Structure 1
């Protein structure tokens, strides 16, 4: 198409410079294609771009990405290549040059939106941290769309970044939790933190006298940092974090497919290590991760435990995973089996009480019954599990059976019946017992009759037990009462007297005579 467009404009008497400007290509490219025949141009585009280059082996991937997402930047393509090929050693300028040539040859135009920011003075080490929130819409693996929310942090001096995602809007407790995670990520806290006027942390600007929410004010008092609140319509005062939010949306999140929130956060941390904090910053001309090694020494140390969470009895929300665990301080803590449910709110509240060793208390709701308690581990990456939270597979079925037997008046007969079911369905004993348990709860008045009927008819199946219970429940009379045969009734119950005739009557009918 590029070749045909160049030829068409040339026939229409366009000059070389005009053709280059119209098609957004270089003038040498115009001269090169004008000297080719159609067959030569076709052969040229089917070959690797120009002379043999380092990224030729990845051309198909790059071209496919650009055709599907024409707005992608070279930096984002660079990150996608590193995600797919971690051992690829290639510089950012090489990727930019190659992507530019691919766009020229295949006429894939990129539209850019430019936002103007005013330059602000560089901040000293350990002085300032900027925070902001953002949201995106992502395609899921099942081709649906989900809305995700994130909080982003950036150190003003080194530009070291941190982010955390969740699938619901942030609350003040979520913001505090993410601050704590960020401080653990950085290894300390700055003197000042810059925010936008967000309802999660502020009530009013009040002409410079900030009114923070009660919960966040308590947190600020605990961590002892200064809050700098940006004035409305003043993005320049927090331009760094504005750029970071844009960078996260445009490089990490753009066109990436969402699987689940844990996987998404894990990939976000990998992106920070691989791209966000590793690539050379365009302003400082340094890698944020390298500058951060020096700035880290100027941060204020923070305690591993937040006393605000424990002494003031403040709870923090956590999401229960499918494996019935919650995450806290880089570890997993178990909750009772069955706490996680599908299609319901699986959030619990956690509190840290006491001093070292502290206790992690887990509740479903504030002031409700405690569902789990654990000693807080100072290690990382551990699974702290209470044995009572797992199912005892060796005793569970037997205890379940004994509990079912206790519901029947004739427990000996019931025990025999359940033993027979266990022998016939050894792999499905629990499922069989669960069905019978449902029947007992639904039809408690007839289970004795149902058991007797099943034993008499040798129906050793939970499904048969359920069907008979439903049938008996629907009948208006006692279905188990046996009806005796007619000939067993005594003659005393028959009050009908049969009429009799004399013998002479029968003789006359037969044509004989009486003696």
Structure 2
């Protein structure tokens, strides 16, 4: 297919660069196919791609997946290969380059799924404030690099912006402090505030019912504003603040040198006055600062800074997963088995104690009994598990094994057999024993004979045990019929005649003369 397209464009006087651009392939590929005949191109595509490559054995699978799902990425193909072939060791870049080459040769263009967006109507004055977080890496005055974190606010009607920076990740209490500073900057607050599904603000959202962290929930109840949490993958709801975050990164922070955090925040406020809130907005075609003078009159008044430091306590809630763990800073921490209940709220309170060696304390209720305590892990993606929180799986398997042994006459032999299976399949002992148990239930009269056979032949597998049982059962109930020999009763077969050929036929076959 690719060969035909290249030759057709070449006949139409397309240049090599134009052919490569039209077919989305490299120029060396164009040259290669121009030098081939049709039969050579066909033979080339049927052979492994170019020189022998690691993924040639999986080419048919990759081609079939791309043919059925043209939008698949190289990363998805990599994942599907590992799912089908767990022992395959291959890098992501190797898979991507191989997939790219398959797409070129077989002209499988990657289909981009275009998402449709809907324009959001303008919000009335004083109605809505949008909030989001961001981070950047900045060069310092001593030519080093530092990571900075910021929170951004924007009024949905006037597009008046506000931001604050710090040198460490935000906590819920940092977010509360910045809200208070933003309200003072604006001279009031809106009826509702729109957030992304951020862990600082919310624990979960269930069909529109919000479950806020206890600290932020206490703060929300004090000034009494409405929280609007965006749905996942719903950028229209908070598109304004996402644009503001990009604007701050691409205009204020880009190539700016960091000295200290106080100086950085001062320059951020100067930038807002000079550029961020002064330049004409591309959508409204008005200056945010000028529109804000009108919107400010519609904001709800706020008193002096609220005592966010006195917000109930520093404990925040976490939901317990089905596997009896809670998440904290990209890690999972275990709670006692049975903490998760099907028809329950499944919430616990967590608290961090200590300075240098921090400890995560987990309770069911405030000031209640501590149900779990873990040293906080500084890595990510880890499971921190207390051994007391796991069930003793060996006890149930061991009882199952003893029950199986009791079905056999020679229990010493059976015990040795099941011990060997346990050593060979430590992770699948229960599955192996379950298969043998079903065999025992179905063929109780043959199990002793089968056990002896398996021990003699060293067949230490539940599947072997099942197959041997089935074989013995079949041979026992279906004896083999004797085949009557032609020589036992020649008269019975006297009517069978054999065909004969003349000598000339054999001479002709051998190439000789008659």
Do both proteins adopt the same fold according to a TM-score greater than 0.5, normalized to the shorter chain? no
Q: TM-score, normalised by structure 2?
A: 0.38
Larger radius of gyration: 1
